[in-house]
Amino acid sequence: MRVFVTGGSGFVGGNLVRLLVEEGYQVRALVRSSSPITRLKDLPVEWVKGDLTDPDLASKMQGCQAVFHVAAHYSLWQADQDILYRSNVQGTANVLASARKAGVERTVYTSSVAAIGVLGGGRSADETYQSPVEKLVGAYKKSKFLAEQQAWLAARDGQDVVIVSPSSPIGPGDVKPTPTGDIILRFLRRQMPFYLPTGLNFIDVRDVARGHLLALERGKSAERYILGHQNLSLKALLDLLADITGQKAPERSLPAWLPLSVAWMDEYVLARLGKTPEIPVDGVRMAGQFMYYDASKAVRELGLPQTPLLVALRDAVAWFVEQGYVRGTYL
């Protein structure tokens, strides 16, 4: 089977492309001219230049039986609202319309638990829960919600679309890095004297890639599957990193008002004076929530693997060291 992948140079997309090649799929991947593909150059992949909003995207999908729409723009800056909408919402609508036009049999759309929202009270949300869009924190989460609505609409119109919603992936290949990868890097660089009292659902990125393939093979159209594994507080994650590396984990937490005040000054005051902001307000607001999820549906119906997080963290640390992101011997 020939498959078309958007976002193939990213963290999840890169691991998915590698898995697809290993499983014998013929891969055609859309990549922007500015996207690095160095770590994937050894793979027999047909790379095509383009953008999610290209009007001729259907022609680039011709001959493919399936599409994995993994690409998305990620930003927590308020100033990026327009590009988030254009890339995530309009881009998704164009990918889905192009897949239909090209005669693609099935599309797997990569949403996010960000689009589902937070249940609150430290409880785990599953696929049946949906936060009202006005309660989603920040433009990024709202854009992913609106993008997912495009997938639901396409499915209701008869298009074969399966939705997968990854939580926070960990593992090798986090080039950018992602927010979770940034936590690991800051810990390794000893830049985390304090922590925020928050929590996330984490999963090995290779399990996320496998979950995409399982969704193609076993998923039901017009269904949503959370690709997650373990709910952990940030403090518990840092303690695991301490066990792996031998470095001391931070013991003191910060009250939420302190980083929020710093972020507000950074993004709304100093940025207007020409300083490049470093702490997004929406990022701090998100950290005030315990973002816990239940992935049992994907485990039960798709066979989603649940690799121990210790394995994912060890491999992430090793990869960052091997690639020169940090110096030292940790394993």
Mean pLDDT of 3-30: 96
Range of the domain at 116: 2-171+202-231+291-307
Alpha carbons 260 and 229: distance in angstroms, whole number:
29
pLDDT at site 104: 98
pLDDT at site 260: 46
pLDDT at site 271: 52
Tally of CB atoms within 10 A around 182: 13
Q: Is residue 295 domain-resident?
A: yes
Q: Is residue 208 domain-resident?
A: yes
Share of the chain above pLDDT 70, in %: 88
Asked whether the beta carbons of 68 and 212 are under 8 A apart, the reply is yes
Q: Is residue 142 domain-resident?
A: yes
Mean pLDDT of 138-148: 94
Mean pLDDT of 117-121: 89
Q: Is residue 326 domain-resident?
A: no
Q: Is residue 253 domain-resident?
A: no
Query: Partners of 108 in the beta sheet?
Result: 68, 162
Question: How many distinct structural domains can be found in the chain?
Answer: 1
140 flagged as catalytic: yes
Q: What is the pLDDT of residues 259-273, one digit of tens each?
A: 445 544 554 554 555
pTM for the model: 0.92
Q: Is residue 189 domain-resident?
A: no
Residue 102, both tokens: 């090209």
Asked if pLDDT for residue 303 goes beyond 50, the answer is yes
Residue 204, both tokens: 């090995």
Alpha carbons 189 and 185: distance in angstroms, whole number:
6
Mean pLDDT of 111-121: 93
Confidence of residue 279 (pLDDT cuts 50, 70, 90): low
CATH code of 93's domain = 3.40.50.720
Q: Is residue 271 domain-resident?
A: no
Helix %, strand %, coil % of the chain (to 5): 45, 15, 40
Q: Is residue 244 domain-resident?
A: no
For CA atoms 270, 274, 275, 280, the dihedral sign is positive
Which has the closest alpha carbon to 195: 255, 118, 134, 257?
A: 255
Q: What is the pLDDT of residues 40-78, one digit of tens each?
A: 888 999 999 999 999 999 999 999 999 999 999 987 767
Among 11-15, 197-201, 219-223, 295-299, the range scoring the smallest mean pLDDT is 197-201
Asked if pLDDT for residue 139 goes beyond 50, the answer is yes
Please tell me which residue in 109, 140, 292, 293 is annotated as part of the active site. Answer: 140
